[in-house]
A and B are shown apart, each in its own frame.
Chain A
Amino acid sequence: MNEFLLLFRRDFTSADAQPSAQELQDLMKKWQHWLGGIAAQNKLVENGNRLASEGKVVHAGDRVTDGPYAEIKEVLGGYSIIRAETLDEATELAKGCPVTLIGGTVEVRQLVPPNL
């Protein structure tokens, strides 16, 4: 079995992307059901974390800018790690992720352990 990183991206900035309290509650249940479905197949490696919307970017010469979202609208909002044989299987598991319901995306990338 291989491990895959799921990267959740969504729009943090525009006002119409900010859900209400009830919508948030529903969304949380959907996240749990989706992640619970992966966990029920014993394919959840790590629940992962949500990322705070605030951030800094360090550039060459230690120049620092605010946040990763200067030019792009969609920013990284969180990650989870799952277990699958192939990229296709991991992608199949990523389907139905509730981030897509609010205009976001999931990027699926295999974790490659360093060759030591």
Chain B
Amino acid sequence: MAEQELLPQLFKTEYRKIVSVLCRRFGLEHVETAEDIASDTFLTAAETWGLKGIPERPEAWLYKVASNKAVDFLRKKAAQDRRNSDLKTPTEYSCIDLSLQNIRDSQLEMMFAICQPLLTLSAQVALALRILCGFGIDEIAGAFLTNRETIAKRLQRAKEKLRDNNVRLEFPSNPAIRLQPVLSTLYLLFNEGYYSRHQDIAIRRDLCLEAMRLALLLTEYPETDLPDTNALLALMCFHASRLDARIGTRGEIIRYDEQNPSQWNAELTDKGHHYFNRAAKGAEAGSYHLQAAIAYWHTRQEDTTEKWEAILDLYNRLLIRQYSPVAALNRAYATYKVQGKTAGILEAEKLKLTHYGPYHHLLGYLYTGEDSAKAITHLQQALRQSKTQADRDNIRRDLAHPDLQTSPTHHPG
């Protein structure tokens, strides 16, 4: 592999490891130094490898350089600390521990430090992308459809908050409780990729894969390998199995009933089953279990009453646990699939989500073939409230349904 391809590849996998390991050694308050050293290491690599060619073991080379730079920093810092205090004896600096185990431990501890209610959810996701996933600021801005300055500020504030609150990198004493916000952030990170309005499929896939990678890391520790973790990972696998089939060539969302099942990824579905079985060890079916079960049924190709009854049942249970407009709309759709259009319309109209575009889109869809005037009114309302070109394209296509065309405009000749 040429270094032009190798370096970005290594940056993606190694940057985050170096940052986490250095932070574990320096303390989280020095996260920016850790980031600087990691970046600097890659700059050094770019220069050196350009001149001398790629070393035999590039990862080891990067670790060695990062380690030297880190020891330099520690030495300078200690000298400064000595000047500021009475401490006389110089400390010894072994090189930095970049063993596989220490890398994993550091990343796990970093996850607990970042994903916690002290920070807003959007700050958690941004920081996770930066530090745990090695995304550049521009990439994060791209994923959030915002600008560089906003993200830079958000990251800055989040780091200050961690510093001000003296957050340390450590394995929590109560991992089961601390796990919940971690899972929420990973869930959000995944959804950012799966449901985002972003047209760039590569970014979306990256976000989903990163969330899955971090969830997988949680399953590697007995203290965090809990039913909820596995349920979340199963949910991600089942959803991700349809990721490619779900996005069209122009970045538009392809509706479930129009997807090509041959594009669904069987390997990911199998993985989903694996984690779902492991999730079943717990006594209680939590929200991730219910959502994983719903996602599982969506990986089944057949369009049977049994399938939609199961989905409807699961949405009922999910909503009883926790309300969300998306789940409410999906429940109305499942009601239509089980009990027919009249029942579906009845349930949808009860929701009264009149300021929510997808509500009108669903009603427009259900009224098509039943009441054309109402169908058109709802679809036009959905069009006015739509936020992306991809949404508008889908709604216009539904408006073009033959049942909704009024008087014939031409006579067959």
Contact = CB atoms under 8 A, between A and B. Distances in A.
B327 interface: yes
Contact of B328 (A32, A33, A41, A47): A41
A31 to B, nearest CB: 9
A40 B349 CA distance: 11
Contacts of A33: 312-313, 316
A36 B331 contact: yes
Nearest to B347: A37
B345 to A, nearest CB: 13
Interface string B327-371: 110011000000000000001001110000000000000000000
A36 B352 contact: no
Interface stretch (B4-12, B50-58, B273-281, B317-325): B317-325
Nearest to A47: B320
A104 B316 CA distance: 22
B315 interface: yes
Contacts of B352: 41
Contacts of B319: 36, 39-40, 44
A16 B315 CA distance: 32
Contacts of A32: 313, 316-317, 320
A75 interface: no
- Interface size grouping (class) on chain A: 10 to 19
Interface string A44-57: 10010000000000
A65 interface: no
B316 A41 contact: no
Given A36-B331, A37-B347, A44 B323 contact: yes
Contacts of A47: 320
B352 to A, nearest CB: 7
B313 A40 contact: no
B350 A36 contact: no
A41 B317 contact: no
Contact of B351 (A29, A41, A44): A41
Nearest to B346: A37
Nearest to B338: A33
B363 to A, nearest CB: 14
Contacts of A29: 313
A36 B323 contact: no
B317 A40 contact: no
Nearest to A34: B316
Contacts of A35: 316, 320
A35 B312 CA distance: 12
A86 interface: no
Nearest to A40: B328
Interface in B281-325: 312-313, 315-317, 319-320, 323
A42 interface: yes
B328 A42 contact: yes
Contacts of B320: 32, 35-36, 39, 44, 47
Interface of B: 312-313, 315-317, 319-320, 323, 327-328, 331-332, 347, 350-352
The 7 closest A-B pairs by CB, nearest first: A36-B316, A39-B319, A40-B328, A32-B316, A42-B323, A39-B320, A36-B319
9 contacts: A32-B316, A33-B312, A33-B313, A35-B316, A36-B331, A37-B347, A40-B328, A40-B351, A41-B350
Interface of A: 29, 32-33, 35-37, 39-42, 44, 47
Given A36-B316, A39-B328, 5 more contacts: A35-B320, A36-B315, A36-B331, A40-B328, A41-B350
